[in-house]
Amino acid sequence: MRIATIGAGYVGLVTGACFADMGWDVTCIDINPQKIAALEEGRIPIYEPGLEEVVRRNADAKRLHFTTEVSEGVPGRDAVFIAVGTPPRPEDGHADMKYVHAAAEAIAAAMTGFTVVVNKSTVPVGTAREVAGIIGRTREPDEFEVISNPEFLREGAALEDFTRPDRVVVGARSERAADVMRQLYKPLTDQGHAMLVTDPESAELIKYAANAFLATKITFINEIADLCEKAGADVDQVAQGIGLDTRIGPRFLKPGPGYGGSCFPKDTLEFVTTARGYGAPSRIVEAVVEANDRRKEAMVERIETALGGDLTDKRVAVLGVTFKAETDDMRESPALTVVPELQRRGARVVAFDPQGMANAAELMPGVDWAEDAYGALRGADAVAILTEWRLFATLDLVRIRSALKSPIVVDMRNLYDPRIMEAAGFRYISVGRRSVG
């Protein structure tokens, strides 16, 4: 099969590379000439484990191509995936659809033969009909069908999620379009991975409902962590106890500084906006959004309290600034709230992240960037661990202790055992567990 992706960002590039790895002929299209030039040279514009190897392998095999021209990449394709950004509009939180609309217009002008146009971007309910209306201005109904095929990719594990999915969701109105998607995903369904075929509206809502539920689960365990601290309980033990219930499950029950990233923040806002628009407001998700915003601010207060209630001229080392480990993505990272607020309250911040510093430097002015974790710790009054990079969990405690001016560790990811930290002479503040030292 021959396919194209409009957008060579995180979703478009992963989608295109993985389909090419299945043996299909794929063209990734992006309006950014620098990005396309880099991809043609084998340089990946994002950090995602394993992606660079897959891209290079399939580009070398002539199955994966890159262009800035829709007129080159779309004609003759069995399916064209729209994988462009849908950021929230600042005025109302609703997804900004201008990039999706522009992609639809470009596809309509370039496609030849029957084409399945696939909404891969995370889009509001009703977008399939909306895009079909745009393409239908210039194309006959029998020339195309617009379907929904939402992505469920975790940053840092995107290749695994694409090639070993829990499910593939396809929202189509005709068997003709559904059969194109069945053929496209056959290498996965032949391995036993499930495909669920629905109507487009249900597929669109599945994406938002799934992310809203997971965000709710994260926010719930964060509130349980607060209660554990007050009651003298251990949130890790509580999470394990409830996670063993098969109706609940253990995933997304790790307390921390709040959810971030490219999906949960904007998708929960869109869910809230959509629900209100249909006259069916979601009070639960509204509360989740509010609680998550408060969570990030509470982490600053946790650091301030550990330093005696005054951050003036205090040197705070921050380990990790990306919203999660195994990515360089800074979108909606808790660090974007925590670090500026630390600075506003008088602290001097020095930070280190294995992958995110280049992206973070423009977003967080005034931060001193260290070459490694130990460099960030040197002379600091306290260290705050914001991101759960594995290397932070294996640092030498003796070196940490000697590097810090004061042995204060505020661990927002519970990477260490409180008993070990106490024995090593630290004042150790974690999340949902008894503070020591």
pLDDT of residue 93: 75
List the chain domain ranges. Answer: 2-198, 208-289, 292-429
pLDDT one-digit tens code per residue, 207-230:
999 999 999 999 999 999 999 999
CA distances 293 to 90, 155, 195, 271, Å, are 16, 21, 35, 16
pLDDT one-digit tens code per residue, 367-425:
999 999 999 999 999 999 999 999 999 999 999 999 999 999 999 999 999 999 999 99
> Please, are residues 312 and 346 in contact by the beta-carbon 8 Å criterion?
yes
Q: Compute the distance between CA of residue 271 and CA of residue 127 in angstroms, rounded to an integer.
A: 14
Query: Which is it for strands 64-67 and 368-369: parallel, antiparallel or unpaired?
Result: unpaired
* Higher-scoring residue by pLDDT: 437, 198: 198
Instruction: State the architecture of 292-429 in CATH terms.
Output: 3-Layer(aba) Sandwich (3.40)
May I ask the CATH class of domain 2-198?
alpha beta
User: Which pLDDT band, with edges at 50, 70 and 90, does 90 fall under?
Assistant: confident
Domain 208-289, CATH among 3.40.50.460, 3.30.70.20, 1.10.1040.10, 3.30.413.10:
1.10.1040.10
Identify which of 54, 55, 110, 119 has the alpha carbon closest to the alpha carbon of residue 84: 119
Mean of all residue pLDDT scores within the chain: 96
Active site residues: 263
88, pLDDT greater than 90 = no
User: Which pLDDT band, with edges at 50, 70 and 90, does 364 fall under?
Assistant: very high
267, pLDDT greater than 80 = yes
Percentage of the chain modeled with pLDDT above 90: 96
SS3 of residue 2 by DSSP: strand
Confirm whether 208-289 and 292-429 share one CATH topology.
Answer: no
pLDDT one-digit tens code per residue, 173-192:
999 999 999 999 999 999 99
pLDDT one-digit tens code per residue, 2-21:
999 999 999 999 999 999 99
Q: How many CB atoms lie within 10 A of CB 227?
A: 12
